[in-house]
């Protein structure tokens, strides 16, 4: 009888210890996830069609904080909200000190007088100088980047005065990986690097 009581006490103690270990592990994992997504990266959802054909509405992306200045062709997440109060997901076209211009006849973007090779865009840009809010050529201010969507004819980006060149302090990070949809998982820039 005494042995049965000891077994029950040991089993009860073992269960309590096991439950404590599980709770401790869950709290540690939760703290780890919060720290990672606060200081290192985040998961963000594409909202809209401005980055088509590369990123589709509702694609889920892993974005990592930028610890170095953004570079040409980086897809970045901008915390300065759009006109619908969503973060912007755009491609860096020009960086500090570079001059952006447009060739209206060909629909191409010029950076420092050179037409960009842009295999990632949805279609040629239909552009009329009357469509542009800013005066071009435009030199990107120090500490800023000029961003555009890949779907040039349906993108709210740096061409709009209300957006303009983006202060780098508003850039949360660079898109590293597409995690959904599963059939398109991977680096959304892989084909263009």
CA neighbor of 49 nearest in space, from 119, 122, 108: 122
Give the active site residues.
50, 90
Residues 6 or more apart whose Cβ sits within 8 Å of residue 173? 41, 42, 63, 64, 65, 66, 76, 77
**Long-range contacts, 157-162 (Cβ 8 Å, 24+):** 157/50, 157/88, 157/90, 158/90, 158/93, 158/100, 159/131, 159/132, 159/133, 159/134, 160/133, 161/133, 161/134, 162/83, 162/133
């Amino acid at each position: 009888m005494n042995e049965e009581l000891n077994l029950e006490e040991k089993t009860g103690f073992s269960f309590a210890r096991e439950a404590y270990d599980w709770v401790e592990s869950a709290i540690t994992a939760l703290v780890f996830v919060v720290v990672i997504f606060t200081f290192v990266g985040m998961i963000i959802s594409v909202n809209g069609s401005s980055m088509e054909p590369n990123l589709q509405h509702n694609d889920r992306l892993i974005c990592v904080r930028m610890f170095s200045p953004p570079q040409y062709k980086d897809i970045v997440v901008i915390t300065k909200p759009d006109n619908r109060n969503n973060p912007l997901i755009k491609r860096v076209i020009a960086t500090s000190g570079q001059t952006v211009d447009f060739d209206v006849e060909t629909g191409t973007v010029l950076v420092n007088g050179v037409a960009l090779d842009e295999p990632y865009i949805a279609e040629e840009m239909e552009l009329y100088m009357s469509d542009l809010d800013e005066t071009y050529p435009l030199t990107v201010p120090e500490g800023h980047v000029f961003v555009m969507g890949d779907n040039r004819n349906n993108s709210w980006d740096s061409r709009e005065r209300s957006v303009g060149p983006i202060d780098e302090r508003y850039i949360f990070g660079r898109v590293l990986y597409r995690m959904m949809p599963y059939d398109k998982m991977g680096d959304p820039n892989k084909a263009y690097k």
